[in-house]
Amino acid sequence: MGIIVWILIGLIAGALAKWIMPGPDPGGIIVTILIGIAGAFVGGFIMQSILGFGTGGFIWTVLVATLGAIVLLAVYRMITRRVA
Q: pLDDT value at position 54? A: 64
Short-list 24, 2, 21, 23, CA closest to 13: 21
- The model's pTM is 0.74
Instruction: Give the residue among 18, 24, 30, 2 at the shortest CA–CA distance from 72.
Output: 18
- Per-residue confidence (pLDDT) for residue 56, from 0 to 100: 66
Rounded CA gap, 7 and 39, in Å? 10
Task: Give 12-71 pLDDT, tens digit per residue.
Answer: 888 888 888 777 766 777 777 788 788 877 877 777 777 666 666 777 778 888 888 888
pLDDT at 47: 75
Model pLDDT, residue 41? 78
CA 73 to the chain's CA centroid: 8
Dihedral over Cα of 16, 33, 41, 77: its sign: negative
